[in-house]
Structure 1
Amino acid sequence: MQGTLNARLNRQLQNDSNMTLSEFEVLVRLTDVPEEYLTVSELAQALEWEKSRVSHQVTRMERRGLVQRTSCPTDARSAHVVLTACGRKAIEAAAPGHVEAVRRLFLDELTTEQLTTLETLATQVLARIEAEDG
């Protein structure tokens, strides 16, 4: 289900906004912080991706003008990934269609009771993962 849903949401974003789901996820994380930037390490942690995957994704997004890398003033070994005006415009344009697709394909099909059960199951699985991570 997760794979099929992600594939459909990815196609929706590509068709409607010329954006991949991975790009959308990066832009969401950058818009979630007031400064609109994160270090590569912080972004990797927020996305639960490997740093190398983040670095490759950021490079592709830089070419499109969605983000830019800047030097981190407190750590010369690190870089900030900064949301650009183009990136903000892109996510603002993409978000309404993406939210509508999530609602249509997932949320609208479930009853309140089913959503409550799903929340209980997700919380239990996440707690188990966190316990194993220590």
Structure 2
Amino acid sequence: MTAQPPADRRQERADDGIAVWRTYSGVHARLAGHLSRELSRATGLSEADFQILDALLDAPETRMRVLDLRWELQWEKSRLSHHLARMCARGLLEREVCATDARGWDVTLTTAGRDAAERARRVREASVRRIVLDTLGPDLLDRLAEAADVLAERLERAAEEDPECRAARPAAAPGRSGGPAQSASAAPSAQAG
């Protein structure tokens, strides 16, 4: 048997990488759907509701500038604006003129919003423990965290290289993540708590 030419080996590795990517994408979609359905059944909240409530729960005084929340969630402006309006109408959030910049808005949790956020977080953490953490175990979790850190760093560089992304990024985004590319090792441990 003759050895494969180097170009063929490179193509084979590239094809294997695409297969891994497709598998990851499919698993991610199924996992996200499963977690969203469990959350909705247990709390009546949508995934979008949870993302907003969870971000605000970690923000100082459960308050964030809408611009910072938009950056953290990586949502389009109109999507966030409409969703915040619906959540305000449901009594989960309040919107106020930003104290430090009258051109902007702050959003904060109401008491009902805080209660909903805390309950939803407990439900989500229990689901993640059961479906992900207990399934993977410590060794695979370490490898997953390592891969996530590498990708987070690459995404941060890509954001810095992208003029549109640089222009949209808040100067100093307070809150829990410091932007969308938080590293897995810097994130609060999913086991804690």
TM-score by length of 1: 0.92
Determine helix, strand or coil for the equivalent of 2:94.
strand
Q: What is the deviation of 1:79? A: 1.0
Listed as ranges, the gaps of 5+ residues in structure 1 are none
Shift of 1:43: 0.6
Q: Which stretch has the larger CA shift, 11-20 or 52-61?
A: 52-61
Matches of residues 72-111 of structure 1 in structure 2 within 5 Å? Answer: 72-111=98-137
Verify the 8 A CA contact 1:40 1:51 in the aligned structure 2. Answer: no
Q: What amino acid does structure 1 have at the position aligned with 2:72?
A: A
Runs ≥4 in structure 1, deviation > 6 angstroms? none
1:133 to 159, 164, 175: 159
Counterpart CA distance in 2 for 1:99 and 1:74 is: 34
In 1: Cα distance, 2:120 partner to 2:155 partner: 31
Pairing 1:118–2:144 present: yes
What letter corresponds to residue 88 of structure 2 in structure 1?
E
2:71 aligned to 26, 45, 49, which one? 45
- Greater C-alpha Rg: 2
Total equivalences in the alignment: 134
TM-score of the superposed pair, with normalisation by structure 2: 0.65
Structure 2 segments unaligned to the other structure (5+ residues): 1-26, 161-193
Confirm or deny that 1:56 pairs with 2:93: no
Could you tell which deviates more after superposition, 71-80 or 118-127?
71-80
CA RMSD, Structure 1 to Structure 2 (Å): 1.3
